[in-house]
Chains A and B, each alone.
Chain A
Amino acid sequence: MAKQFDQRKETEYSSRDLETGCVITDPGNAARYKTGDWRSQRPTWNTLRCIKCGLCSLYCPEGCIAPNAEGYYEADLYYCKGCGICSRECWTQAITMIEEEE
């Protein structure tokens, strides 16, 4: 049985490789989907303002914000879609969205 979207790119599958009904039999493979491709802005943290409260990580709809080794929060840019909710909700205004081009 062919595995859906194993380590191949989606464009490497022919119609014959797909499971009946296009079901996906390896659970959790959505984690490989790079939603970071959608981003036009990314969040940056000002560690002088950040009080490590973690609200940004609670609000992040992608669940991609986590503390680093020093306890400051960071977005995983593989998944971050650049929605800006973290920046909007940060009550110490520690998060600034910057254009990807910059």
Chain B
Amino acid sequence: MMTGKRIGMESSLGIAEAVKLANADVVAAYPITPQTHIVERLAELVANGELDAAYIPVESEHSAMSACLGSAATGARTFTATAGQGLELMHEVLYVASSMRLPIVMAVANRALSSPLNVWGDHSDVMAVRDTGWIQMFAENGQQVFDLTLCAFRIAEDPEVLFPVMVHLDGFHLSHVVEPFYLMEQDVVDKFLPRFRFPLALDPDKPLTAGAFFPPGVYGEARRAQDDALRSVRPVISRTWREFEEISGRSYKPVETYRADDARVLLLTMGSFSETAMLAIDQLRERGQQVGLVRIRLWRPFPFTEFRQAVGNAETLVVLDRAISYGGPTGPVCAEVKAALYSEPKRPRIVSYVGGLGGRDILVSEFVEMIEKGTALAESGVEEELLTIGVRV
């Protein structure tokens, strides 16, 4: 069931449409490539009266996120977007948003980090904010960006959640590509996403202190409480996606698979490259190989149960990372995957590849190569710390 009219639109503008339908109260953002079209369009929607919101044109991303803190703390529905260096500049404020439990929604048009200067897409920015305590999810195409942005507001504002949410979309590969969209009717969105009352909102009649000083005797308890709370939101996210499926016909899961049921070899991806990887899976399936694809949609909180179920029967798991952990163990996603499976009695052999850095494409043939060479390498038992794909070494 797909409702509404199918139209073509750039993914960035699709996000702006979702924020408009969500009837956000405040947008505070600083433009940065490749996020610019998102906030440019939102500024336009506010300026011409299509979205009744305050648009705060701040002087930096640090200020953007700081303004979002204040806005969300009053109970206003708050949106921002950034990318790459901008996400790094707001880094310290990200922790404040999650620990003060402010339901901010942010789109991140994933971008490589300097230096060398590069404005194109990879996941270096995501991995650097992995532990900021935000809920984080990945979109693979324009429709998903639109859907997940709407769902992000609903998830963030759920009284059982109250955490900020990042929706990740690959810079340029997704943000600047014209995609087919089914938009939604305002009344349908209003029912899915009613006005909310933030239980911790600043209120002169009910004074409270937020972001207070916690000395050593109680700081650890605060951190533990925050981690317990973030881990406990997984059922709410799944429930929200099920409810969204009822109104849209489109379904989302924390871990999604493609032709994976009987697969001996699984490839793991996150983000828009998953769609190219599917073509590689199709090619290998046509040759009779039992291969499949696993995509992590919910990056934080990490869906351990669903992930273990998805990969438990495979013999080999080839993981693609679009970021390097300099001097560290494999790529950051692969390191997490290995940690998630270490205690399992039955687990696949794991091979780590890093590629698609700074906007470099990964071709279908390169995904095929990763699967074939990765499988051979896994069978040989040789473990290399860093394997790259498509990089001249």
Q: What is the interface of chain A, defined by CB distance below 8 A to chain B?
A: 9-11, 13-18, 20-25, 27
CB distance B221 to A20 under 8 Å? no
Contact A24 B218 (CB under 8 A): no
**A24 & B217 in contact (Cβ 8 Å cutoff):** no
Contact A23 B200 (CB under 8 A): yes
Q: Within the complex, what minimum Cβ distance (angstroms) separates B119 from chain A?
A: 35
**B208–A27 CB distance below 8 A:** yes
Whether the Cβ atoms of B218 and A13 lie closer than 8 Å is: yes
Q: How many whole Å from A16's CB to the nearest CB in chain B?
A: 7
Partner of B214, one of A16, A17, A22, A25: A22
Determine if B229 is an interface residue (Cβ-Cβ < 8 Å): yes
Could you list 5 A-B pairs, sorted by A, with CB under 8 Å?
A: A11-B217, A13-B218, A15-B221, A21-B162, A25-B208
Chain B residues with CB under 8 A of A21 = 99-102, 162, 200, 210
Chain A contacts for B228, CB-based, 8 A:
15
How far in angstroms is the closest Cβ of chain B from A65?
23
Q: CA separation between A21 and B222, bound complex, in Å?
A: 8
| Complexed CA–CA distance, A18 and B101 (Å) | 13
Q: Which of B162, B209, B215, B222 contacts A18 (CB 8 A)?
A: B222
Q: What total of A-B pairs shows CB separation below 8 Å?
A: 55
Residue from the set B199, B207, B208, B229 with the largest chain A CB neighbour count within 10 Å: B208
Within 8 A of A (CB), among B187-223: 199-200, 207-212, 214-215, 217-218, 221-222
The verdict on A23 contacting B208 (CB below 8 Å), with A15-B224, A15-B225, A16-B225 known, is yes
Partner pick for A27 among B101, B162, B209, B222, CB 8 A cutoff:
B209
Cβ A18 vs Cβ B210 within 8 A: no
Chain B, Cβ-Cβ closest to A20? B101
Closest 4 CB pairs of A and B: A21-B101, A15-B224, A24-B209, A15-B225
Find chain A residues with CB under 8 A from B208 CB.
Answer: 23-25, 27
Contact B222 A22 (CB under 8 A): yes
Q: Chain A residues near B217: list those with CB within 8 A.
A: 9-11
Contact between chains at A20 and B162 (CB < 8 Å): yes
Contact B221 A13 (CB under 8 A): yes
A-side contacts of B222, CB under 8 Å: 15, 18, 22
A9 to B207, CA, bound (A): 22
- Does B101 lie within 8 Å of A10, measured CB to CB? no
CA distance A21 to B133 in the complex (A): 12
- Max chain B CB contacts within 10 Å: which of A10, A11, A22? A22
